[in-house]
Structure 1
Amino acid sequence: MAQVGDQLTQPEEGWKRVEDTDTSIKYIGTWHSASNSTLYSGGTMKYTDESDSSVYFMFSGNKIRLIAYSNSRGNDSVIVKIDGVEYTFSMKVGSVSPALVFEALNLTGSEHVFELIAPSSTDTNNQVRIDAVDIDINAYIYQPPAQVGDQLTAPEEGWKRYDDTHPAIRYEGDWIRWDLTGVYNNIFHYTSDEVGEVHFSFYGDKIRYIGRIWSSHYSDGLEAYIDGVLVSSFSQLGEANTEQVLNFEKTGLDLGKHNVVVKRASTSDTANFMIDAIDIGDNGRLLHPDEVTDVRDLDIGKRIRCHYTAKPDEVGYFYGLGKEHYVDGINDFIPPESTNEPDGDFYFIMVDDEFDGRRKLIADRPIQNEISWDTLNSAGIASGSGIESNVLFFELPVIYSNDSDTISVRASSENDSNLYMAWRALNPQTDTAYGWGSDSSLEMPQWLEIDLKSSKKFNSYSFTTRDANVESQPLSWNIEASNDQLNWDILDSRTSGIVPNYTRRSFFFDNNKEYRYYRINILECSRSFVVIRDLSFSESEKYSSSTIRLITGGVNSSDTDNEWDEHIVNSDLNGTITPGDDDVWNWSGKGAGNRQAWTTTTVSGSPSNRIARGASTNISLSQSIATNNLSINRVFRPVLLIDIPSLYKSLILYNNHYYKYDNISQVWIDLGVVPTEISAKETLFLEEGMDDLTGIDSNVLKQLEDDVLYLHTYKPK
């Protein structure tokens, strides 16, 4: 067995060699390469003649050897740390290469941290070197997690990255966006404003701030606060100019929502301060400081995310209200200048709480360009009343085959034509005359099944009848769910008459269990085969109604009694923004031209024209545009009117007993005598109370055989 000081040209039995060039070995400080196929293992070695340089990696197994060139110019007080335990040894042992200069055997544990450190005595005559590392034959070395000060050009495993251009980041003070090769996504933001701050929120349990280290003009007095607590004081001033540097990190947070502020320690500091990107755990998501994920939390100035996808000059589909559709942290959102074929997120910002209790929200950006007013009008969106958005909202992703990375579908049968394959039920861009169609030669029941590839809890669903052959509609059906595709629970049962073609209907049911597989089982159909399209299940809270329409714009430039002037030009949204802020409303087109938003407003004396609002330099600009114009500057900015879900639970009081109605069995369930204790009554309402009374009509109430019934409601605390 080799001893320290021996020449060791090859690893001994039970060992394997890792060369100095392995990418898992991290070199910190100044290291040089030397080549000699005779002297060095693998033909190369690394050396340093500067103190405080170091080598860092992790390895598995219970033993390690360091191989290096040992001679009179080697350092005789080299430091090695393994799991924090320090060892000192010499590289000034004869003239041997490659030599075994250090070893540690019988280590405790299966994974270890290795550090090789150049001491203060290091210089050209006292070098520290590394030629190779030998470890157990079944072990491996790997790169350690990044540390503050490291360059980190991509998120590590378990993390995901958001660029500094992401709309969830709010910049306070005067900031400059700068294009530069070498920074992440070739763009960064910086400020010399002494009150400049970065604000954002995130859901997760860890965070990293990616910036730079620069030799001059950058601040050495920056602070990061999470939930109001100072978690890091850091500097962007250093000796070497380095981009994409991990400036600070915080791990071990409680999994949940956290608010982050990064700013200067002193308001007298006017040195530059920059941000390049944000990394968070891949189990989380970045959130705007004013962002909510549940419509019930909306208030004036708050915003909620939504996804929109469309084909050129066609009204598309909205889905995933409150959800994130992460792509890469760069292209998640529809660009502020919009596009003619959008497929991305945007924000709905709440601007008003209307007299009838409806919340009014306006898109923070144009979500589609090169679309005519005539196209929007044909879809029902351009009118003042708009269109019920349950025609447009989808919770499941759009797919283009029966199997995808996110979900898959299958059916009991499919019509011979490609136009009736199962996946077409989940693709709203399918021709409206088609969808999933069952085999016309087979009798009912026929079913369509969705595999979510993970368990989720759904409590509502919707689908659309085809725009042809009213006879192919379902007349009765069950919604069923399973976790093994063998045992199916019935969650909802419905019976229906014929409805007009291309009618979208939504249904709600009680469900507190997560399932992987959901299916609609058609029991009876009005024809020999059934067609279902735009099928979607939802895990979101139900709301009674919502509407999508265009914004109002005023009949001329002096008419300011309209939504564009009231909310976008003049409102500070209860003090949450500066009125007309282009970083909030994206009305300018961000240098891409005069992006003017269609409105509902007709031009006096010109019935074939409509008012369009906004321009590259004039937020108040009002122009009369022909309704068939679909140039790149004609854009769609939707308004959403939404009723917030009921916060109340309800039961029917009859003969001193509480009852609830079961939509599946279509019978009343007797819950027993009304409890006398308040706590027991609250528990009964929480566990058994109905939150959807839409299916209870006079015929249902007559089942209780009493003319005097009482509706009791309870609002959970």
Structure 2
Amino acid sequence: MATVGDQLLNPESGWQRIDDANKNIIYNGNWISATGDPNTYAGTAHYFTLSGATTNSIEFYFYGTKLRIIDMYWSNRVNNVTVELDGVISSYNPNNSTNKYRVIVFERLNLQYGFHKVKLTTTSTSNNFSLDAIDIDSNGEITAPPLSKFLISSEDKHYSITNEYKDNAIPAMTSNTSPNGIVDASSFYTTFYPWKAFDRIIDPNGWVTNINVLTGWLSYEFDSPKTISAYSVQAGTTPVGRSPKNWTFEGWNGVSWIVLDNKSNQSAFAGSEYRLYTFDNKVAYKKYRINVTANQGAGDFLAIGDLGMYELDKYISSVDTSEVSFIKHGMDKGMVIDLEDEFIERRSVVKENSPLGLGKVFKQKIDTVKTPIKKASIT
């Protein structure tokens, strides 16, 4: 798998590339749209030349779990680009004498799947600030700014729903049966026992299949049924070619294994890289497993450094209709609400109340006696 500093002419498997000319990328200030350079992605790029401090910026919003900024490493680039991702600040430096196009200059992996805001600025006062392309999840999307938010109204009260995953439901295991639950696997090699994928220690391998066995399954049985709707896979530190590439995540119903999630052609893991996978599940199973049908290319073993499983809590919060509260707690367009879910109530309080003054309010009253509702999707 490519990393920061590598030239990447085209996106890797599991990624898609968004050109700098995408209409949902916002360029604030005076920018030049350059075309006709075959070295840049799609022959286009945006840039401007600094002559002192600037407030120019680039903003975009995306759905997904990962992000790469694709640009040049060149000696005439700025020496600082600040990245504000969901309010968290980091930076990268594209000023580099290697002079090469289509480089991964910034990368962020393992984001919670959902909506993310990105803003690029610079503190440099000279040279060129530029952007060539953006890589995101293959099933992700660069979107317009989130102008639409909504709250649920019921009996003159307003509510917001949020989803939060609990901590890993599996304890730090010290054997296949301690401290509780049962760990099992299709095979293992010498002392690389199945439980070592659940000990929460990232070592060179974790669980390893028997020698020359490149597929297999790894399971955990809880003491009582749990409704798992997310799992994590973490690679060992070396060699990463032993990590999974194709697999299913399954629950045991007492008779057969039920496929809950299916993954194929996953991009190669970096050493100790952590990835979270989410899926819809309403059924509580005692036993779950990952069933791997291909690794990342190693010819000796299949290995998983760490495997986690997670339950989901859905919180419903009572909020006021102040502008501050609406912006902070309003749910985004595209959210699906299943009214058969169990919610945990959590109250939000905004002390300084001011009326909602931005945007438009759309109200629709539904007679639920005539039209029963089990699930609502806001589009």
Given the two structures, how large is their TM-score scaled by the length of structure 1?
0.23
- Structure having the higher strand fraction is 2
Greater Rg by CA:
1
Greater relative CO, 1 or 2 (CA 8 Å, sep 6+): 2
